[in-house]
Structure formats: structure tokens, C-alpha cells
Amino acid sequence: MSKIMLAFDTSGEVIALGIGAYTGEPISARGPRPFEIEFSETIPSPRATNVRLLTEIDEALAGTDYDKGDIAAIVAGRGPGSFTGVRIGIATAKGLATALEVPFFTVGTLDAIAADIARAGVAGWTIIASDAMRQEIYPALINIAEGGIERIGGDVVGKPDAIMENLIAELSARNVDQVNLVGTGLLKHSEAITGALADAKISVELLDEALSYPSGAGIIDAYSAAEDFQTGLAGDVLPVYTRLSDAEENERAKSALAATAGADDAYTSTGDTETPEAPGASLEPDVDQAQTFSVRALNPSDITEMVLLEDATAHPIWTAGAYASEFEVLGRLWIGAFVGSRLAGVAGFGDLAGEIHILNIAVAPDMRRQGIGTRLLEEGMRRCARFYAHKFTLEVRASNMAAIELYKAHGFLEVGLRTNYYSDNGEDALIMWGSSMSDEEAAVLWGSKARVARTEEGARILAIETSCDETAAAVIENSTVITDVIASQVDFHARFGGVVPEIASRKHIEAIVGTVETALEQAKRPLSSLDAIAVTDRPGLVGALVVGLAFAKGLAYGASKPLYGINHMEGHLFANVLDDPTIEPPFVALLVSGGHTSLVASPSDGVYETLGETLDDAAGEAFDKVAKALGLPYPGGPIIAKLADQGNPAAITFPRAMMHSKDYMFSFSGLKTAVITYIRAEEKAGRELNLPDIAASFQQAVIDVQVAKAVSAVKEVGATRFLLGGGVAANTALREALVSAMTANGIKVSVPPLRLCGDNAAMIAAAASARMHKTEPLALTADATSHAPLGMMGNQ
């Protein structure tokens, strides 16, 4: 049976799904290929994409007598559309492609719709206007002719009036007086759109509303016709965003930049400034500030220039054909340095699996000694980090002193000589190797925090955590942490003074593949060897959870592994168990994080009774808000704790709210207000703030209430064991206060190891190893939940 391409798009309120059987040579990296459409549907699915996508895929495969193993490539719509909708499709595809080890490509959703319109037999100029919410539309202006579909311009977003003005200018310039019109944007903006066309005396033919959405066939057609270059690596794929997150938009609106760019705002292109910079994952132009040249990834349209440059070097080797085949192979990175529009230097990196072979570094003879070669080498080595590779090998002509010096200056060593290596003049090749960082640095950068030798028994679990602002993956075996990888986004949120949900979701989708692959690679445990996969599915930021969950579902489905949904807060509790496997109920636990503050009693395994919670702010939130009021960066907890170390906790008396409320409820917003009021009063009186004293006094107020309530809860329940968990558990003063109070009352107390206090996936894996024997794996229809008490299983 032939191999297939699986196609889907979830950027609108539908699931577009297709299966194309490949009829020619094997599916390679990219390019037009003949497909026989075996399945194509557009399934209405408002707000249920995550719930239905994999079930629909599973049924489509079964219905066409194909198996997951027949999937040779995946293509998904990259938007524009609903940000979360697009991310669900892309996250699922990333999981599937990673598990099946097949390439993953994207097509523009509007291009897929255009292909469907052409398929329906429509010809001529056509406007697609998709609803972009917020009174805006995503337009596409296309001309369907014999030779194919021509599209004017790329993905943009804007108010209907501004968009129409622009489209009409394009049409008028081409003397077009008749267009076809379709799209979900017509539901809300029909008047603005058709009115503008009528004013311009352009007659309109309304197309069937069903053509507002893509179908599976349209996605596959759009893929076949696409000429853009894509690596096919799941880790490289990003959705199309035509807007920044609101927080960034506001920030930009306030900046001087907006004043100069203001005129364009209504009609913004999806250029590089729109997409947030992905560390190492973007292929966008990267203008070097200090130099007069810019560096970007090369693509097949650069081949002519690449050959021109190569031919100008002393020993040209690379031909147009050789370069063309480079762009057909997966796992190659070619970057170029441009002076103006002229290609001044080229560098190629290959075999991007663990170790990188530097294929070529060439600089045009008249462009040398400007640092171009250095920049290309450094930039290439930096970009290879997205393949989690930091070791490099190369061969260089023994006579090429300039190149040898360049490599030596970057720490490369001569490790051997290949005699008569070059066929053109029989010259020797020097073999060199180097690395962009030490193994230790790589481990830190990529987050490896622990590595333990293999144990033979016990479940081997991969866990994924994306509930807030850390993308994390871990492998545990027999309750021992093998790898624990955390890609933190904290820096991206810090300038906004807190976690921006839209930014969190965007960063998760960028980092998820690399994070999971690193965890598996460093653990030296392939996906196929796992017993189970676990994922945080509640509580948390729903848009963030859904990325991890959709990815995990795709991964588990593709790899045929059971997937367990884990409560994030139960994960925080199990951070203790990783340290001390003998811990078991009954116990009382205090869970304190950025989003939660609760006291729970656990009479038996997996059963939790919430004794009390915060009525307003969570404990971590209070730390963050007080830090903000003091002008300190996010996250506030660690900084306040550090300041508090040097301050006097009795210096200022802040309120201990609910201390004597005789229940287990907490309230921190009054304390926060009291601190802010104190700060304002001090400032007004012209006194300099004593930050350490304020921090210490505030922290002590938080600690006093928590310790008092925790002790009385333990006593009332009659527990002999107490556990602390959550991000705030990293607070040394709180840990010490709880340990001494509990010990004084004869209670055995556990606090999580410091490195497992913050969000991580090892704790999720630990919780899963306890849950997997007692609960059912998640169904393909599982969804994420933002609020969920402990003890409530997502799938029941």
C-alpha cells in the first residue's frame, strides 16, 4: 500500500482533514508531488478542535484502511486564524510528527481555502475575507487561472475599510472590475466589504459559504503548489500570527516606534517584527547592528548567487545541482551574509543529529577581512543549538590558513590529517573539531538538571508540563529522575511584570519539540521504550495547558503509548516523593504557588480533601505584586526572599489576615495593600525605603499565617505527616519555619528539594507513576481545564 500525507487545519471553527495517497516517488523534503486525495472533509467543530481532532484523524485512517505507520508526512494549516485553534493543530502535528519520525510542513490557511475554491471550478479574481475577531479581517487576494493560483501579497490583518482600500488599489492597478467574494469575515463585515467594492464599481459574485473554510484536499493542493522552503523539522514550525500579544501591542503603542509606524497599523504585514523572536528557531533576517551586513537562512531562490560566490573562490566545489540537492535534504542549515542585496558569504551545516559537520564557509574575495566569516561561523553554531547540537567537525584545505585561523580562534583543534583529500589538486585536508560550548554549559542551557544511571525495574515515564511559563519535559524510571529539562520563558514575561498568557502559549509551541527531544536524547531512552507518557492537563493557563496536551496526545497516539493527565498541584506534592519515596498518606499538605494557596488533607493515595484556600491572591502572587510595587522585576518571590535575608522581620508590623479566623482560608490581598500603603506613605514622607526590612516584614507576615494554619490543620486532622509544595516552597524562611513548627509538634515534615520547587516535569512524572496503576489513560478526546481541585481526574 502506498504511503500517505496526513493533512489538517484547525484555524477556524472547523476541522479540515485530508489524506493524500502518494502516487509517485517517495515523499521527500518538499516540492510539488502528485497526490491522490483519498479523504477530504470539513467538519464543523466550534470550540472543540482539541477534543475532536485525533478522533477524526483516527476514524479517517480506519475508514480509508490506512494505519498510522503509513503516514509519511504531515501538513497542517499555520493560520492566520484563531491563535489557540492554530496552535492546537500545530501542537498535535508536532507530537504526531515527532512520534512517527516524519517531516511536518505547513501551508497558509488562506492558501488552502484558495486551493479549494479553485477545486470547486471557480476562476478569476477572488477575495477571501476571514474573520479575525476584534472587528478585523484576514484577507487574501487571489487570481485563479489556467496555470494555477496567483496570490497578491501575504498574510495581513486589519480593519475591513483599510484592507478594502488596499485590495481595491491592487484590483484597479490591474483593471479588474469583477471579483468573487467569500469568507467568514462576511458574516460581520459584509456591508463594509461589498460597499467598498460597489463604490469602486467592481461587481461581485458571492461564492458558496462553504468555501469559507478549507478542506483536506485544499490543504494538500496548497502543499503541492507551495514554493516556500521548509525544513520539515517539527521543531522549526511556527504558526502565523498577524498580531502581537495584547501586552506587546500595548507596549508598542506606548513606544516611540509606534509613533513612526502608526500609519501602517491598520494594515500590518506578517513580517519579522510581528513574530516574536524565537531563540534559534526563526529563519527571519537577522540584521547585524554592528556590521554593515545581515545574515539570514538561505533558500533555493538563492542558488544562483551562491554559485556565483562559490565560483569566485580559489577552489570552487559546490555546483548549482549540489546546492539544489542540499535544499532537498532534511537536517541541513545554509545561511548567508548579505551586504545590501548582494550575497557576500555562505556557510553550510549538515547532518544535524547530535554532531554538526561544517560543510562550507565561503566569503567573496572582495568582501574578506570584514568579519563575515567569523559572523557566519558564530551565527551557524548558534543556530545549530536549535538542534541541540554543540559539537562540530570539519575538513579544511591545509593551505587555507585564513580558515584554519578562524576555526582556531573559535577553539577548534586539529585532530587529524587526510592526505590527498582534495581531488582537484591532491591537497591534504586538516580535520578539526570544536564546540560552541562545553558539555556542562550545554546541559545548563538546555536545562539538564539531573542524570542518573539506568535502573532495571519500574515504570519509564516521559512527562510534559506547560501549565504556566515553563516548557518542561522529564524522564523518570522507577521513580528516579533520569532527565529533567526546563525551557524557561521567564525573561520574556519579566518586562511585563508577570506572565502574559498569549506569550506563554507562543513560547510553548516554539519550545515543545526541542524540550521533549532533549529530555529523551539526554536520557538515552527512545520514545519507543517508554511505558507511559504523562502531561499536566489542569489547572493552569488554559491556552498554555492545551499546547502541552495537544502535543502529548499527538505524541502518545503516534507512538501508541498510554497518556495520563496529571493535576499540576498534585505534581507539586510529588516533588517530595522524588526525594523520599517512602512518603505516603495520610498527610496534610500546604500548596503554595503563583496561582494557588491551599491546605489539603490526603487520607489515602490519590484522595484529597481541600481544607482551605485563599479567598483572593495566591501566596506567590502576593510576593510578585509586592515586588512590583517595590519596582523589582518578576518573579518577585526569589528577590523578596533574598532581600528579606538582610532585613529585620519585626521592623514593620503588617497585618496577618485571617490568622484567627478558625478556618483554613487565607487572604493576601489586604497584606499586599498594607505593604503598598506603607511604601506610598514612606515615599510621601520623603524617607528612603528600607527594602530589606519591608521584604522581611512582609515575608514574615505570610509565613506566620501559613505556619499557624498548617499546624492547626495537622492537629485537627490528626495527621502525623506534613508536606509542602509549589513554587513558594523554595522560600527558605518558610521551609525553616514549617520544619521547626511541625517538628516541635512531633509531625514528620517533608519539603521538596529546592530544584523541584518551581514548575518542572519530573514532579508530573512522579505523580503519574502513582496514578497510572489506578486511573484510565486519557482518551483521544481529553481536554485541558483551567480550574480543577486536587483529586479530580480529568478523564472521569
Residues that bind Zn ion (CB under 5 A): 593, 759
Q: Which residues contact 761 (CB under 8 A, 6 or more apart)?
A: 463, 464, 465, 472, 473, 474, 484, 485, 486, 519
Strands 71-77 and 563-567, by their bridges, are: unpaired
The residue among 448 and 593 lying less far from Zn ion, judged by its C-beta, is: 593
Query: What is the CA 47 to chain-centroid distance, rounded?
Result: 21
Rounded to a whole number of angstroms, the minimum distance from the CB of residue 729 to Zn ion is 10
The residue among 345 and 635 lying less far from ligand KG4, judged by its C-beta, is: 635
- Bridge partners for 723 per DSSP: 589, 750
Rounded to a whole number of angstroms, the minimum distance from the CB of residue 468 to ligand KG4 is 5
- Residues 445-474 within binding reach of ligand KG4 (CB under 6 A): 468
- Residues 636-655 within binding reach of ligand KG4 (CB under 6 A): 636-638, 641
**One residue of 12, 501, 514, 595 binding ligand KG4 per CB under 6 A:** 595
Q: Which amino acid is at 109?
A: T
Are the C-beta atoms of 738 and 721 separated by less than 8 Å? no
Q: Which residues contact 789 (CB under 8 A, 6 or more apart)?
A: 608, 610
Strands 124-131 and 178-182, by their bridges, are: parallel
Residue given cell 503541492 in the structure block: 224
The residue among 86 and 500 lying less far from ligand KG4, judged by its C-beta, is: 500
If one counts every other C-beta atom within 10 angstroms of the C-beta of residue 230, the result is 20
| Binding map of ligand KG4 across residues 610-639, x = CB under 6 A, - = no contact | ----------xx-xx----------xxxx-
Q: Which does 758 bind (CB under 5 to 8 A by kind): ligand KG4, Zn ion, none?
A: ligand KG4
Binding segment toward ligand KG4, per CB under 6 A, in 60-68, 75-83, 396-404, 727-735: 727-735
- Bridge partners for 612 per DSSP: 599
Binding segment toward ligand KG4, per CB under 6 A, in 311-319, 382-390, 682-690, 722-730: 722-730
Residue given cell 519585626 in the structure block: 650
The residue among 360 and 593 lying less far from Zn ion, judged by its C-beta, is: 593
Residue given cell 542540499 in the structure block: 326
The residue among 303 and 757 lying less far from Zn ion, judged by its C-beta, is: 757
Q: Which does 221 bind (CB under 5 to 8 A by kind): Zn ion, ligand KG4, none?
A: none
Q: Which does 236 bind (CB under 5 to 8 A by kind): ligand KG4, Zn ion, none?
A: none
> What CA–CA distance (Å, rounded) separates 765 from 460?
9
Strands 14-22 and 4-9, by their bridges, are: antiparallel
> 201 burial class (0-12, 13-18, 19+ CB within 10 angstroms)?
exposed
Pull the grid cell for residue 368.
Answer: 574578506
Q: Which does 730 bind (CB under 5 to 8 A by kind): Zn ion, ligand KG4, none?
A: ligand KG4
Query: What does each C-alpha distance from 589 to 541, 577, 600, 760 come to in angstroms?
Result: 23, 13, 5, 19
The residue among 100 and 728 lying less far from ligand KG4, judged by its C-beta, is: 728
Residue 593 in the binding site for ligand KG4 (CB under 6 A): yes
If one counts every other C-beta atom within 10 angstroms of the C-beta of residue 281, the result is 18
Which phi and psi angles does 489 have, rounded to 5°?
-105, 5
Residue given cell 521584604 in the structure block: 695
Sign of CA dihedral 279, 281, 284, 287: positive
Q: Which residue is nearest to Zn ion (CB)?
A: 593
| Binding map of ligand KG4 across residues 471-490, x = CB under 6 A, - = no contact | --------------------
Pick the closest to residue 435 from 404, 405, 413 (CA basis): 413
Rounded to a whole number of angstroms, the minimum distance from the CB of residue 751 to ligand KG4 is 12
Q: Kindly calculate the radius of gyration of the chain based on its CA atoms and give it in whole angstroms.
A: 29
Pick the closest to residue 449 from 537, 380, 350, 523 (CA basis): 523
The residue among 259 and 792 lying less far from Zn ion, judged by its C-beta, is: 792
Rounded to a whole number of angstroms, the minimum distance from the CB of residue 598 to Zn ion is 12
Three-state SS annotation for 208-253: CHHHHCCCHHHHHHHHHHCCCCCCCCHHHCCCCCCCCCHHHHHHHH
**One residue of 727, 762, 768, 788 binding ligand KG4 per CB under 6 A:** 727
Q: Which does 731 bind (CB under 5 to 8 A by kind): ligand KG4, Zn ion, none?
A: ligand KG4
Q: Which does 81 bind (CB under 5 to 8 A by kind): ligand KG4, Zn ion, none?
A: none
**One residue of 358, 475, 728, 764 binding ligand KG4 per CB under 6 A:** 728
Binding segment toward ligand KG4, per CB under 6 A, in 196-204, 267-275, 280-288, 590-598: 590-598
The residue among 81 and 595 lying less far from ligand KG4, judged by its C-beta, is: 595
Residue 571 in the binding site for ligand KG4 (CB under 6 A): no
The residue among 618 and 778 lying less far from ligand KG4, judged by its C-beta, is: 618
> What CA–CA distance (Å, rounded) separates 428 from 772?
59
Residue count at the site for ligand KG4 (CB under 6 A)? Answer: 20
The residue among 593 and 697 lying less far from Zn ion, judged by its C-beta, is: 593
Q: Which does 95 bind (CB under 5 to 8 A by kind): Zn ion, ligand KG4, none?
A: none
Binding segment toward ligand KG4, per CB under 6 A, in 68-76, 344-352, 720-728, 743-751: 720-728
Are the C-beta atoms of 104 and 73 separated by less than 8 Å? yes
Binding segment toward ligand KG4, per CB under 6 A, in 50-58, 302-310, 576-584, 723-731: 723-731
CA angle 769, 773, 779 (to 5 degrees): 95
Task: Write out the residues near ligand KG4 by the rule CB under 6 A.
Answer: 468, 593-595, 620-621, 623-624, 635-638, 641, 726-728, 730-731, 758-759
